[in-house]
A and B are shown apart, each in its own frame.
Chain A
Amino acid sequence: MTAGRLPLNNAMSELDLITLASQGNRAAFKQLYLHHHPRVYALSLRLSGQASQAEEITQECFILVWQKLPQFRGESQFSTWLHSICVNQALSFIRKQKSFWARFIPMESDDEHSSADEHYQGLDKLILKLPERARIVFVLCAIEGYQHEEIAQLLGIAVGTSKTQYHRAKQLLQEML
């Protein structure tokens, strides 16, 4: 198995790793994963609000990146490209979970939230307690720096709704402090 070992030169640039990975080199792809997965996981966790879902989104995201890597032309930074894939993957995952599972089981998993409280600190501890839509808007706007117009387009909502959800999230977070 090549992925377990690191036959690559440690001084190799990210561009070299991307080139190798896009040609099917798993060791190179693992290096990219090791470098970027904490960022992808953080974003997935904050958007989904659940550690188990964040893990799944992160995995799905890197599988997708592995498949799409040959299409990466380097017109933007790799991290920007990855970030965009991650956001789309997370939102799509959440949408699917909501539209499908909600028909059969209650989606609010209090156990998961309470256990998450113990593992995360600061803002993350509070974010996980926010209602889903307010959390997503808040994360994209306050942490990831998206404009309300971009959020509205991503979520298929009105710009005004995005702003309302953002203020609601801020209010709820302030009440939690």
Chain B
Amino acid sequence: MSLSNDPREAKLQQLIDNAPKALTPERDLWQGIEKRMDKPLASQTASRQTPRLQGAQWAIAAAVVLAVFFGFYTQAPIKTSLPEQIASQSADDEQALHTLLNQIAQTHQAQVTSLEQTPTLVAWQTSRFSAPLEQGLAELRRAGKQIYQALQANPTDKQLWQLWLWVQQRELELLQQGQKLPIQNSTQGNSI
């Protein structure tokens, strides 16, 4: 420890030395811990990992499909020099992309619905963090809708695809985070 003539430095050192090693939280945290311990470990782990895993698997599948498509799309004009064939191929590809777009949108919606139907999610709306959570979700959904519309108009835009997938992934993550928020009321019945 270096000696200093500065009285403020000495006072700060004194405060550090006297800082308590332990502090008591204002509320009882054990109940929240115990509630989560009630869930069987395997299913708890599975339920936490499944949505993320599904999301990851879905993102990987989408990325592979996109990679295959864009690889084919960029190489196709080199293989054939006939403009009619290119135009025809391009139209088919766009149609395939539209189909893919709709499929991914449906899959995502199903995941969102599944997350929203889990019992724990009902409660986060009573948390003091619910407002920013809902704000974040609304923001993401608005962005997702706009990107979806832009993709419908221009399904070959690779960056738009990446952005859209990213926004969907964030939405799922936000919903999962919402399930972990501390709640004030356990059920609606309490406030009736």
Complex: how many Å from CA A126 to CA B25?
18
Tell me the nearest residue of chain A to B45, going by C-beta: A67
For the complex, is B16 an interface residue (Cβ under 8 Å from A)?
yes
- Beyond A52-B182, A174-B9, A177-B11, whether A58 also contacts B135 by CB under 8 A is no
What number of B residues sit within 8 Å (CB to CB) of A?
37
Specify which of B22, B26, B33 is in contact with A42 (CB 8 Å cutoff).
B22
For the complex, is B141 an interface residue (Cβ under 8 Å from A)?
no
Interface residues of B in 18-55 (CB under 8 A from A): 18-27, 29-30, 32-34, 36-37, 41, 45
Tell me the nearest residue of chain B to A126, going by C-beta: B15
Which of B62-70, B89-97, B145-153, B170-178 lies at the interface with chain A?
Answer: B170-178
Tell me the nearest residue of chain A to B11, going by C-beta: A177
A25-66 vs B, Cβ < 8 Å mask (1 yes, 0 no): 010011001100111011001000001101110111011001
Tell me the nearest residue of chain A to B17, going by C-beta: A123
Residues of B within 8 A of A119 (CB): 26
Complex: how many Å from CA A37 to CA B26?
12
Question: A55 to B33, Cβ gap below 8 A?
Answer: no
Interface size of A as a range: 35 or more
Complex: how many Å from CA A131 to CA B132?
22
For the complex, is B136 an interface residue (Cβ under 8 Å from A)?
yes
Give the number of residue pairs across the A-B interface with Cβ within 8 Å: 99
Specify which of A29, A38, A51, A55 is in contact with B22 (CB 8 Å cutoff).
A38
Q: In the complex, how many angstroms separate the beta carbon of A147 from the nearest chain B beta carbon?
A: 15
Complex: how many Å from CA A41 to CA B20?
12
A13-32 vs B, Cβ < 8 Å mask (1 yes, 0 no): 00000000000001001100
Complex: how many Å from CA A3 to CA B38?
11
Residues of B within 8 A of A34 (CB): 30
Residues of B within 8 A of A156 (CB): none
Interface residues of A in 155-175 (CB under 8 A from B): 170, 173-174
Specify which of A39, A59, A62 is in contact with B21 (CB 8 Å cutoff).
A39
Question: B16 to A41, Cβ gap below 8 A?
Answer: no
Question: B12 to A38, Cβ gap below 8 A?
Answer: no
Question: B29 to A37, Cβ gap below 8 A?
Answer: yes
Kindly list the 5 A-B residue pairs having the minimum CB-CB distance in the complex, ordered from nearest.
A38-B22, A42-B23, A104-B136, A123-B15, A174-B8
Sample 18 A-B pairs with CB under 8 A, ordered by A number. Answer: A3-B34, A38-B23, A41-B25, A42-B21, A52-B182, A55-B182, A56-B182, A58-B25, A62-B33, A66-B37, A96-B177, A100-B170, A105-B132, A122-B15, A123-B18, A170-B12, A174-B6, A177-B11
With A42-B22, A124-B19 known, 13 other A-B pairs at CB within 8 A are: A3-B37, A30-B30, A33-B30, A39-B22, A42-B20, A42-B21, A42-B23, A45-B23, A51-B25, A51-B26, A59-B33, A101-B132, A173-B12
